């Protein structure tokens, strides 16, 4: 029986320097704990508040986190990284230098005999056409290639700014009284999934529907937590 850990929406780089030091320290402590207590780690997007990777340049900061992820992977345990709407501009650094498995979309996996559907969660709500169009543009390789021509200092500054715009849009957008991600999860449970797992909304959730469960990991901006699965799924606080 394997043990799986799940985290989402840490948003490294969002807050002031003091808060970022505290948050990164907690994350590093968690990664050390995970290395000794789980068999595989799943990151469900927005590990960084913004990420733009050039061919020969990676952005400054959070070297301790990158090092700890590399140590986790060097122990022989897989890291599965589903990119989010804030940290989607990856090339091959995480795959080549850290050894993580990078996913640009949702994934379906079987864990300990249970079927999991996992995604960051952006673009899945029905009444969010504007974001779905923007997502197609931002993730277009041609446009990303044009963007990479910009000097890294300016490019990363712009990426940080666009990240703030995206966050403000998500925060102010009124999706109605119904949790759109839960509604999407119900359709996947009807397709035969036992667990449907998201981040993105920053609202922690654990809902039963028919034979399955919809789970949202929330965000480390409120209270650090992680998911754990062996025979049952738990959301556990990390202090």
**Residue 18 belongs to domain with CATH number:** 3.60.21.10
Helices (H), 127-228: 129-138, 141-147, 152-172, 180-190
pLDDT at res. 208: 97
- Full residue range of the structural domain in which residue 130 is found: 4-237
CA distance 148 to 58: 12
Rounded distance, CA 100 to CA 77, Å? 10
- 11 Ramachandran zone, left/alpha/beta (phi>0; psi -120 to 50): left
- How much is the pLDDT for 174? 46
The two beta strands, 40-43 and 4-7, are parallel
pTM greater than 0.85 (yes/no):
no
Phi, psi of 161 (to 5 degrees): -65, -45
Q: pLDDT tens-digit profile of 13-26?
A: 888 889 999 999 99
Contact present, 169 and 131 (Cβ < 8 Å): yes
Count structural domains, the chain: 1
pLDDT one-digit tens code per residue, 34-84: 999 999 999 999 999 888 777 777 777 789 999 999 999 999 999 999 988
Instruction: Summarize pLDDT for 183-209 with one digit per residue, the tens.
Output: 999 999 999 999 999 998 888 999 999
Distance CA 197, CA 120 (A): 8
Q: Per DSSP, which regions of 35-120 are E strands?
A: 40-43, 79-82, 101-103, 107-111, 114-118
What is the rounded CA–CA span in Å between residue 198 and residue 209? Answer: 15
User: Token digits for 17?
Assistant: 């320097």
């Amino acid at each position: 029986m394997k043990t799986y850990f799940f985290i989402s929406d840490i948003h490294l780089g969002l807050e002031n320097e003091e808060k970022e030091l505290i948050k990164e320290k907690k994350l590093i402590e968690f990664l050390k704990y995970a290395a000794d207590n789980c068999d595989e780690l799943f990151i469900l997007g927005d590990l960084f508040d913004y990420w733009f990777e050039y061919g020969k340049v990676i952005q400054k900061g959070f070297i301790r986190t990158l090092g700890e992820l590399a140590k986790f992977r060097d122990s022989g345990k897989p890291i599965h990284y589903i990119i989010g709407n804030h940290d989607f501009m990856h090339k091959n650094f995480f795959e080549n230098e850290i050894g993580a498995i990078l996913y640009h979309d949702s994934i379906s996996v079987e864990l300990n005999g249970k079927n999991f559907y996992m995604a960051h969660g952006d673009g899945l709500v029905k009444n969010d056409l504007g974001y779905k169009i923007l997502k197609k543009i931002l993730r277009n390789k041609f446009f990303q290639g044009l963007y990479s021509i910009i000097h890294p200092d300016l490019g990363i500054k712009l990426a940080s700014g666009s990240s703030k715009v995206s966050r403000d849009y998500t925060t102010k957008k009124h999706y109605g009284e119904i949790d759109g991600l839960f509604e999407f999860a119900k359709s996947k449970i009807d397709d035969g999934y036992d667990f449907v797992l998201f981040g993105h909304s920053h609202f922690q959730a654990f809902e039963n529907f028919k034979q399955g469960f919809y789970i949202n990991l929330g965000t480390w901006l409120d209270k650090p937590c992680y998911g754990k699965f062996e025979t049952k799924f738990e959301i556990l606080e990390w202090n």
